[in-house]
């Protein structure tokens, strides 16, 4: 876990370490999971717990842009997606294999693959091709997320892309705060 600041800013945003952001997101996720399993009468737990997703989406994008080896990063995500799928299926479907809904890590994997395609084209410095690719990947990501029934569906994949598109425009934690107020 990294203790570096997420973004050094001179704007009105605050600085927070990636470790602190991970811990905050994990606490929110725990609250959401407590509501889903042990305390279903406590609706406030899921309301607060849903804040975890945009934080994890942001962190997956940050992970993409700060990793030295995308293949290893993607492989780690795949391993965790497969490991967590069985408990997820047991919780949602009551069975070891529940093809109707996939865990959230698959959402991030689709987002990361889309980012990788867009960034590969962007690095070739052909703006019209990049714009067309970004549009097509965004549409495909939204559709794939919905068709494969990953957690948060196509909107979840699009959320990952939103953090990608805002990465250069002083996005990051400011966008997380915006999501909290309008989402």
**What are 111-124's pLDDT values in tens digits?**
999 999 999 999 99
* pLDDT class of 4 with cuts at 50, 70, 90: low
Give the other-Cβ count within 10 Å of 183's Cβ.
11
- Is 164 a domain residue? yes
* pLDDT class of 10 with cuts at 50, 70, 90: low
Q: What pTM does this model have?
A: 0.82
- Is 148 a domain residue? yes
- Is 59 a domain residue? no
* pLDDT class of 107 with cuts at 50, 70, 90: very high
- DSSP result, 4-73: SBS---SSSPPP-BHHHHHHHHHHHHHHHHHHHHT-TT-HHHHHHHTTHHHHHHHHHHHHHHH-S-HHHH
Q: Domain tally for the chain?
A: 1
**Cα-Cα-Cα-Cα dihedral of 29, 166, 15, 21, to 10°?**
20
Show the domain range for 102. 68-170
Task: Considering only residues 9 and 51, tell me which one the structure prediction assigns the higher pLDDT.
Answer: 51
Residues written for the chain: 183
Give 42-101 pLDDT, tens digit per residue. Answer: 999 999 999 999 999 999 999 999 999 999 999 999 999 999 999 999 988 889 989 899
Give 130-143 pLDDT, tens digit per residue. Answer: 999 999 999 999 99
- Is 147 a domain residue? yes
* pLDDT class of 179 with cuts at 50, 70, 90: very low
Mean of per-residue pLDDT scores for the chain? 86
- Is 56 a domain residue? no
- Is 156 a domain residue? yes
């Amino acid at each position: 876990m990294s203790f570096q600041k997420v973004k050094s800013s001179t704007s009105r945003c605050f600085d927070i370490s990636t470790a602190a952001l991970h811990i905050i997101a994990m606490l929110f996720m725990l609250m959401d999971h407590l509501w889903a399993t042990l305390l279903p009468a406590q609706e406030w737990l899921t309301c607060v717990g849903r804040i975890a997703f945009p934080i994890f989406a942001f962190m997956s994008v940050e992970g993409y842009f700060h990793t030295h080896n995308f293949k290893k990063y993607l492989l780690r995500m795949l391993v965790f997606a497969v490991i967590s799928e069985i408990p997820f299926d047991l919780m949602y479907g009551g069975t070891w294999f529940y093809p109707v809904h996939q865990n959230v890590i698959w959402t991030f994997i689709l987002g990361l693959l889309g980012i990788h395609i867009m960034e590969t084209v962007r690095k070739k410095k052909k703006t019209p091709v990049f714009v067309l690719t970004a549009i097509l990947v965004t549409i495909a990501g939204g559709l794939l997320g919905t068709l494969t029934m990953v957690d948060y569906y196509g909107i979840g994949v699009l959320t990952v892309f939103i953090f990608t598109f805002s990465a250069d425009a002083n996005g990051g934690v400011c966008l997380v705060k915006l999501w909290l107020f309008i989402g």
